[in-house]
Amino acid sequence: MLNRPLGFLLLLALGAIFFWSQRGENQHEVVRTALIMDTLVEIKVLGTDEKAINGAIEDAFTLMKGVEAEFSSYQPQSSITRLNRSDDSVAVSSRARKLFRLGDSVRRQSQGAFSMALGGVKKLWALDKVQPQVPTTEQLARVIPPVNRPALRWDGLRAQRTSALIQLDLGGIAKGYAVDLALELLRRRGVVSASVNAGGDIGVIGGHGDRPWRIGIQHPRQAGELLARLDLHDQAVVTSGDYERFFERDGVRYHHIFDPHNGRPARKSQSVTVVAPQATLADALATAAFVLGPQAGLRLLEESSGVEGLIIAADGSRVITAGLKERLKWR
């Protein structure tokens, strides 16, 4: 005869085994999309409880929209707009301070190639408008902020621009941050297999079922073609490319990633793909390495711990960090 507590434990164990065997049979893959930050965001979750999965995805989208509301320079009430319009200090959230700190550390590591202060430059080029333009050197000189200086000075949770020329723009890091927040929420909800893709800024939880997540890397010069594939497990991969947002005039391609030294589209790369533990870091490093180009960019990626990457130089040649060479499957 079993005593009662032991019998109860046995029942519990049997229940757990039953639930576990059900998992294999009732796996669902829920895929949903939303338009956030002008980007089609896709979240995929594998699991058994479809209703809970849908609720978690919905909440992840809400969280990502909150990132847009707080950090977009297009939204009149965002922290970024308030900072850009004020010469005095402005109260911001603790997550804003954290995000700026990370961005600023990438600015320092990249000798200023990564800059969250190029809003004025971006506005001049008007790449997001119907009529983009090529500004003159004089026009650019009036909006280029000082390089080698943090964009903000801090007093607790109050921040103030360090120069009147600084117009904050987090376009090089905010999407990655939104991806990380979404992944964090899904993890908290018990999700063990998911991917969040914000227009090429990708982060995954676990594998895709029993296999790793298989990610395609876009060919920078052949639209819709893949350059390579990469297997991913509990990591993020982000690509910055000159093909994402550009116009051509007189045979010259003008794109959206600027060299902070001259306010013009950076000329050393076609695309950069970065693999990192977090999408926020991968996003900032991809933009930074794009500006730096194959030599200095590769050095930056090799020096960053837990980070790997691939740089397609302006002439189409490729450089790859040592740890990524074996992982890339070329098409």
Catalog residues that contact ligand AMP under the rule CB under 6 A: 113-115, 118, 122, 169, 171-172, 240, 244, 256-258, 260, 283, 286-287, 291
| Stretch of 12-20, 22-30, 209-217, 284-292 contacting Mg ion, by CB under 5 A | 284-292
CB of 11 to Mg ion, least distance (A): 53
Nearest to 32 by CA among 22, 41, 23, 21: 41
Nearest to 329 by CA among 223, 249, 224, 212: 212
Nearer to ligand AMP, 38 or 58 (CB): 38
27-51 per-residue burial string, b: 16 or more CB within 10 A, e: under 16 = eeebeeebebbebebebbbbbeeee
Nearest to 322 by CA among 15, 307, 110, 179: 307
CA 124 to chain CA centroid, Å, is 24
Q: Which residues, at least 6 apart from 37, have a Cβ–Cβ distance to it below 8 Å?
A: 64, 67, 68, 72, 174, 175, 178, 198
The whole-angstrom separation of Cα 73 and Cα 69 is: 9
* Number of residues that this document lists for the chain: 331
Give, as one character, the DSSP assignment of residue 322.
G
Decide which of Mg ion, ligand AMP, none touches 269; Cβ closer than 5 to 8 Å per partner kind. Answer: none
Nearer to ligand AMP, 142 or 329 (CB): 142
Q: Among residue numbers 161 through 190, which ones bind Mg ion (CB under 5 A)?
A: 172
Is 39:182 a contact under the CB 8 Å cutoff? no
Decide which of ligand AMP, Mg ion, none touches 177; Cβ closer than 5 to 8 Å per partner kind. Answer: none
Q: Is 283 in the site for Mg ion (CB under 5 A)?
A: yes
Q: Is 242 in the site for Mg ion (CB under 5 A)?
A: no
Residue nearest to Mg ion (CB): 287
Nearer to Mg ion, 32 or 264 (CB): 264
CB of 13 to ligand AMP, least distance (A): 49
Residue nearest to ligand AMP (CB): 171
Nearer to Mg ion, 189 or 255 (CB): 255
Q: Is 287 in the site for Mg ion (CB under 5 A)?
A: yes
DSSP codes, 225-267: -EEEEEEESS-EEEEEETTSSEEEETTEEEES-EETTTTEE--
The site for Mg ion, by CB under 5 A, has a size of: 4
Decide which of Mg ion, ligand AMP, none touches 291; Cβ closer than 5 to 8 Å per partner kind. Answer: ligand AMP
Nearer to ligand AMP, 120 or 260 (CB): 260
Q: Is 271 in the site for Mg ion (CB under 5 A)?
A: no
**Cα dihedral 226, 208, 192, 189 in deg (nearest 10):** 60
Contacting positions for Mg ion (CB under 5 A): 172, 283, 286-287
